[in-house]
């Protein structure tokens, strides 16, 4: 079987969908030596991120155009340029990033929709991108042979908002890479030194600096709850449109020495950061899966998560939950998770058990079975 996949996100995005695609490719490569994978991506050189090393049955092609060019050609202008111009002949095409390009009618297609935040939380998406997604995604869902959703919550949104038949949707949970496990003190000390975190206990928040991640309410809750404590707040994540408002809030509240912004952190350093944290806060307004939540659980770190979709589903009872729009509730939860040793021990044990339910190997097995079924 010849499987075409666009992997532009894997070379353009360090976190989020980029990491999702890279991890899934690695797991598929470990599992499947029989089928041929025809990958392509659009990017100028140099590449922001490299594709992982893959075996010979994974063939990658770079299209020397900006990644926005494909979106413009295929979805804004709706030019009938078949994806086979990039992949060559394929028996199945999988788009892992929300939208489906023109594909010959005889070829089955699989589309991954990670979330519908641009529909459920439209004010957190830039107007131009929101307008594009609100046109291109439902059209792509309608055309796709089958749709993958990151969670039951996203599956329910597809049914509710787009009237997608339930039989057309499969839930494919993301995995947690094996490197996400508790890291001993020497590794924690090294990452503290590398990012100038000092010796103070800290609450960690991991996620792109995007309005949907709800950093402003978290900072306000931290100010209310912990400004007189010994804890710092460490925010890890690359630019996402909210960085100026985040820095302004930190300065306005006089928290420049208490709220530390590291910027983007390489995947390899995250397990030690999670392990060094006293707790992880993940107060997002909406997620399709919430990979940092699952990874923090796997590192044995107590997690405070929001009640927004689909975080209670992923947490499975292993995280402390709070309403992400209620600063007082967030503040109370921060006090509880940083001061209650028994609660932290309980969350740590339950988190390690829950994280074992998520693996990229299991996701790849499920995906390969679906490829075979569709082709």
Indicate the domain borders of the chain: 2-175+359-374, 185-355
- Whole-prediction pTM: 0.93
Mean pLDDT value across residues 91-97: 97
Looking at residue 222, its pLDDT comes to 98
The average confidence (pLDDT) of the chain is: 95
Share of the chain above pLDDT 90, in %: 89
Is 10 buried (19+), middle (13-18) or exposed (0-12) by CB count in 10 A? buried
Question: Cβ distance 147 to 169 under 8 Å?
Answer: yes
DSSP per position, 180-247: -S---HHHHHHHHHHTT--SS-EEEEES-B-GGG-HHHHHHHHHHHHTTSS-EEEEE--BSS-HHHHH
The second-level CATH assignment, the architecture, of 2-175+359-374 is 3-Layer(aba) Sandwich (3.40)
346's CB contacts (< 8 A; 6+ apart) are none
Least confident range from 44-53, 149-158, 248-257: namely: 44-53
Looking at residue 315, its pLDDT comes to 98
Residue 134 DSSP SS3? helix
Question: What phi and psi, each to the nearest 5 degrees, are found at residue 220?
Answer: -65, -40
Question: Cβ distance 70 to 36 under 8 Å?
Answer: no
Q: Please write down the long-range contacts of 194-200, taking CB distance under 8 Å and 24 or more positions apart.
A: 194/269, 195/234, 195/260, 195/262, 195/265, 195/269, 195/273, 196/260, 197/232, 197/234, 197/260, 197/276, 198/232, 200/230, 200/231, 200/232
CA-closest candidate to residue 238, choices 14, 10, 11, 20: 14
Looking at residue 227, its pLDDT comes to 86
CA-closest candidate to residue 302, choices 342, 263, 264: 342
Q: Is the pLDDT of residue 121 over 80?
A: yes
The helix (run of H) or strand (run of E) holding residue 148 is strand 146-149
Compute the distance between CA of residue 23 and CA of residue 106 in angstroms, rounded to an integer.
Answer: 29
25: Cα separation from own chain's centroid: 15
Please report which confidence band the pLDDT of residue 319 belongs to, taking 50, 70 and 90 as the band edges. Answer: very high
Which has more pLDDT, 347 or 77? Answer: 347
Query: What is the dotted CATH code of the domain comprising 185-355?
Result: 3.40.50.2000
Q: Is the pLDDT of residue 354 over 80?
A: yes
Q: Is the pLDDT of residue 74 over 90?
A: no
Please report which confidence band the pLDDT of residue 72 belongs to, taking 50, 70 and 90 as the band edges. Answer: confident
Looking at residue 105, its pLDDT comes to 85
Please report which confidence band the pLDDT of residue 80 belongs to, taking 50, 70 and 90 as the band edges. Answer: confident
CATH topology agreement for domains 2-175+359-374 and 185-355: yes
- CA–CA distances in Å: residue 311 to residues 41, 146, 235, 320, 328: 31, 24, 19, 11, 20
Q: Is the pLDDT of residue 66 over 90?
A: no
Q: Is the pLDDT of residue 77 over 80?
A: no
């Amino acid at each position: 079987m010849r499987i075409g996949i666009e992997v532009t996100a894997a070379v353009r995005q360090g976190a989020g969908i980029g990491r999702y695609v890279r991890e899934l490719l690695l797991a598929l490569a470990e599992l499947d030596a029989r089928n041929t994978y025809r990958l392509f991506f659009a990017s100028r050189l140099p590449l922001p991120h490299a594709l992982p090393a893959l075996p010979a049955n994974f063939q990658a092609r770079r299209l020397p155009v900006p990644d926005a060019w494909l979106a413009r050609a295929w979805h804004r202008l709706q030019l009938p340029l078949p994806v086979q111009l990039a992949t060559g002949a394929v028996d199945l095409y999988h788009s892992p990033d929300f939208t489906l390009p023109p594909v010959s009618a005889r070829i089955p297609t699989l589309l991954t929709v990670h979330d519908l935040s641009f529909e459920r939380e439209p004010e957190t998406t830039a107007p131009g991108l929101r307008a594009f997604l609100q046109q291109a995604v439902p059209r792509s869902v309608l055309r796709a042979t089958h749709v993958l959703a990151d969670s039951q919550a996203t599956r329910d949104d597809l049914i509710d908002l787009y009237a997608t038949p339930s039989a057309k949707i499969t839930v494919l949970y993301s995995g947690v890479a094996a490197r996400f496990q508790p890291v001993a003190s020497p590794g924690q000390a090294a990452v503290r030194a590398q990012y100038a975190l000092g010796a103070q206990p800290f609450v960690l928040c991991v996620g792109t600096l995007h309005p949907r991640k709800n950093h402003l309410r978290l900072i306000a809750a931290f100010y209310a709850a912990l400004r007189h404590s010994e804890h710092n707040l460490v925010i890890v994540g690359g630019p996402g449109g909210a960085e100026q408002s985040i820095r302004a809030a930190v300065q306005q509240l006089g928290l420049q020495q208490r709220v530390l912004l590291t910027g983007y952190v390489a995947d390899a350093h995250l397990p030690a950061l999670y392990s060094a944290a006293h707790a992880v806060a993940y107060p997002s307004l909406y997620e399709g899966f919430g990979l940092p939540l699952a990874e923090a659980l796997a590192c044995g770190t107590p997690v405070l998560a929001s009640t927004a979709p689909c975080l209670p589903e992923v947490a499975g009872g292993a995280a402390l939950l709070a309403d992400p729009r209620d600063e007082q509730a967030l503040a109370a939860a921060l006090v509880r998770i940083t001061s209650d040793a028994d609660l932290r021990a309980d969350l740590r044990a339950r988190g390690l058990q829950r994280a074992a339910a998520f693996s990229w190997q299991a996701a790849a097995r499920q995906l390969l079975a679906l490829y075979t079924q569709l082709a």
